């Protein structure tokens, strides 16, 4: 790691420690910017990554997309270009040297604006890559991240300057080795663009049954082509994608509401409670009731520690 990057990350460390000052994911006053802090290694956490730029300042994290592992630390950044159900785990953290990171969510329109203004070249539209990637950080990318984070000290500047610094961050990522992956989400007619539409449809309708032909019509592809391209981009089939969304939502409902597992199963789209219990156990390691009991006990232990 260069001395310049070390100094840049030292400044970001101080910013993140000063603002939230406690563990968890914290939304900041800068739109779409989040600070994350964990003082110990975490259990696997399940959720959906929205299109976002993520950067670890201190510690290390592992992301599981289907069966693929992505590990990144202070020398790297991670980008998700479409909504993706993932499992994340902080694998390096301690009270003395906590895990510190930031996340900046973005929209396809912001990518389109950068491409339009910069007149950046775009590679052939049918070249497919995974919608999640890790790349090496560069000082030219950290610079606008620092300027964006510094706005928290000058809130009156946020409305004018935050969009400019966000645009610069996206510009730097688009110039990077994986930039074409990000470009493809806004190139009308590209496979990624069409799969993005299918992903959005599943996200909105995960609790109802649908036919693969229905998704093929949305993507304007044959069923075989849809299945192949969806898996190349998301690392899973449309049905596996839907299943992860259903089970993640079921777990959230069970944790936040005092409700019956069978009722939750129907709410997220399962017709068979026994099938729900089997698939839930396969994903989370325990049947619903035992898993939620264990989660609540661990939460109580953390609160009382």
pLDDT in tens, the chain (305 residues): 678 878 888 888 988 888 877 899 999 999 999 999 999 999 999 999 999 999 999 999 999 999 999 999 998 999 999 999 999 999 999 999 999 999 999 999 999 999 989 888 776 655 668 999 999 999 999 999 999 999 999 999 999 999 999 999 999 999 998 888 899 888 888 889 999 999 999 999 999 998 999 999 999 999 999 999 999 999 999 999 999 999 999 999 998 876 789 999 999 999 999 999 999 999 999 999 999 888 887 766 665 55
pLDDT of residue 305: 54
pLDDT of residue 301: 62
pLDDT of residue 79: 96
pLDDT of residue 300: 63
pLDDT of residue 304: 52
pLDDT of residue 127: 64
pLDDT of residue 100: 95
Distance CA 79, CA 83 (A): 11
Domain spans, the chain: 3-185, 188-236, 241-304
Pick the CATH number of 3-185 from 3.30.365.10, 1.10.240.10, 3.40.50.2300, 2.60.120.810: 2.60.120.810
pLDDT of residue 168: 97
Of the chain, the end-to-end C-alpha distance in Å amounts to: 36
Pick the CATH number of 241-304 from 1.10.1740.10, 3.30.590.10, 1.10.3720.10, 1.10.10.60: 1.10.10.60
Q: Give the pTM.
A: 0.91
């Amino acid at each position: 790691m260069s001395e310049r990057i070390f100094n840049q990350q030292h400044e970001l460390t101080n910013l993140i420690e000063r603002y939230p000052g406690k563990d968890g994911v914290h939304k900041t006053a800068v739109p779409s910017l989040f600070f994350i802090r964990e003082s110990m290694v975490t259990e696997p956490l399940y959720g959906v990554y929205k299109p976002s730029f993520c950067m670890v300042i201190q510690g290390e994290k592992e992301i599981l997309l289907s069966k693929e592992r992505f590990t990144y630390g202070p020398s790297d950044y991670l980008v998700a270009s479409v909504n993706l159900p993932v499992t994340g785990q902080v694998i390096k953290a301690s009270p003395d040297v906590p895990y510190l990171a930031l996340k900046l969510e973005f929209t396809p329109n912001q990518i389109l604006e950068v491409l339009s203004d910069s007149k950046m070249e775009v590679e052939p539209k049918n070249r497919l890559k995974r919608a999640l990637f890790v790349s090496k950080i560069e000082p030219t990318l950290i610079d606008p991240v620092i300027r964006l984070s510094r706005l928290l000290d000058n809130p009156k500047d946020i409305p004018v300057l935050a969009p400019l610094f966000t645009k610069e961050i996206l510009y730097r990522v688009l110039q990077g080795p994986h930039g074409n992956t990000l470009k493809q989400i806004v190139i009308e007619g590209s496979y990624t663009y069409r799969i993005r539409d299918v992903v959005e449809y599943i996200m909105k309708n995960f609790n109802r049954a649908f036919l693969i032909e229905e998704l093929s019509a949305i993507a304007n592809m044959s069923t075989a082509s849809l299945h192949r391209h969806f898996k190349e981009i998301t690392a899973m089939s449309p049905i596996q994608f839907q299943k992860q969304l259903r089970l993640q939502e079921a777990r959230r409902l069970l944790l936040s509401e005092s409700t019956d597992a069978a009722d939750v199963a129907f709410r997220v789209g399962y017709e068979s409670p026994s099938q729900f219990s089997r698939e839930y156990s396969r994903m989370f390691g325990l049947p619903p009731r035992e898993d939620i009991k264990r989660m609540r006990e661990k939460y109580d232990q953390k609160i009382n520690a």
